[in-house]
Amino acid sequence: MAATMEASSVKPHVGKKKKPPKRYWDSSTEDNEQHTKKSSQDGESDFNEENVKETQESQNADDGQAYSISGSQDPFPGDAPIPEEKLKKFRRVEKSKGTSGLRSKLKEAIKRSEVESELAQKQAARFDLLLPEDAGFLEGDEGEDTCTISQDDIADAVDITSGAKYFNLHLSQFGPYRLDYSRAGRHLLLGGKQGHVTCIEWQTKNLMSEINVMETVNDVKWLHNEDMFAVAQKKWLHIYDSKGVELHCIRKFNDVLRMQFLPYHFLLATASATGFLQYLDVSVGKEVTAINAKLGRLSVMTQNPQNAIIHLGHPNGIVSLWSPNQKEPLVKMLCHQGAVRSVAVDKTGTYMVTSGLDKKLKVYDIRAFQPLQSYFLPAGASCLSLSHRGLLAAATGDIVQVYRDVWGTPVTKPYMAHRVRGGVSGLTYCPHEDVLGVGHSGGFTSMIVPGAGEPNFDAMDVNPLGTQKQKREWEVKALLEKIQPELICLDPTQLGKVDRASWQQRHEERVKALGYDPLAQDKFTPRMRKKGRSSSGAVEKRKKKVAHEDQRDVIRKTVEEKMEKEKEQKEKKVAAVGAKGQRSALDRFKK
Min separation Cβ 36 and another protein, Å: 17
> What whole-number distance in Å separates Cα of residue 197 and Cα of residue 444?
12
> What whole-number distance in Å separates Cα of residue 464 and Cα of residue 470?
11
Burial grade of 92 (CB within 10 A; 0-12, 13-18, 19 or more): exposed
DSSP string, 501-543: HHHHHHHHHHHHHHSS-TTSPPPP-PPP-STTTTSHHHHHHHH
> What whole-number distance in Å separates Cα of residue 289 and Cα of residue 280?
8
Burial grade of 362 (CB within 10 A; 0-12, 13-18, 19 or more): buried
**CB-nearer residue toward another protein: 69 or 514:** 514
Min separation Cβ 141 and another protein, Å: 6
Min separation Cβ 153 and another protein, Å: 7
Instruction: Detail the DSSP E strand segments found in 357-454.
Output: 360-365, 370-376, 383-386, 391-396, 399-404, 416-419, 424-429, 435-440, 443-448
Angle in degrees, CA 174, 179, 180, rounded to 5 = 155
Min separation Cβ 182 and another protein, Å: 16
Min separation Cβ 428 and another protein, Å: 17
Number of Cβ within a 10 Å radius of residue 388 = 20
Min separation Cβ 496 and another protein, Å: 4
Give the length of the chain: 591
Under DSSP, the state recorded for 33 is H
Min separation Cβ 264 and another protein, Å: 5
**CB-nearer residue toward another protein: 460 or 576:** 460
**CB-nearer residue toward another protein: 47 or 90:** 90
**CB-nearer residue toward another protein: 40 or 396:** 40
Under DSSP, the state recorded for 216 is -
**CB-nearer residue toward another protein: 63 or 139:** 139
Min separation Cβ 94 and another protein, Å: 15
Min separation Cβ 543 and another protein, Å: 16
**CB-nearer residue toward another protein: 76 or 90:** 90
**CB-nearer residue toward another protein: 287 or 454:** 454
CA atoms within 13 A on the CB side of 349: 15
**CB-nearer residue toward another protein: 218 or 428:** 428
> What whole-number distance in Å separates Cα of residue 212 and Cα of residue 442?
17
Q: What single letter denotes the amino acid at residue 372?
A: L
CB 333 within 8 A of CB 354: no
**CB-nearer residue toward another protein: 193 or 347:** 347
CB 218 within 8 A of CB 270: no
**CB-nearer residue toward another protein: 124 or 211:** 124
Min separation Cβ 68 and another protein, Å: 31
**CB-nearer residue toward another protein: 176 or 450:** 450
Give a three-class secondary structure readout of 65-92: CCECCCCCECCCCCCCCCCHHHHHHCCC
**CB-nearer residue toward another protein: 299 or 428:** 428
Instruction: Detail the DSSP E strand segments found in 424-497.
Output: 424-429, 435-440, 443-448
> What whole-number distance in Å separates Cα of residue 119 and Cα of residue 250?
49
> Which positions lie near another protein, rule CB under 8 A?
89-90, 92, 124, 127-128, 131-141, 144, 149, 153-154, 157-159, 161-162, 165, 264, 305-308, 347-349, 388, 432-434, 448, 450, 453-461, 463, 465, 467, 470, 480-484, 487, 492-496, 514-516, 518
Min separation Cβ 413 and another protein, Å: 16
3-state secondary structure of 370: strand
**Sign of torsion over alpha carbons 344, 373, 150, 432:** negative
Min separation Cβ 495 and another protein, Å: 5
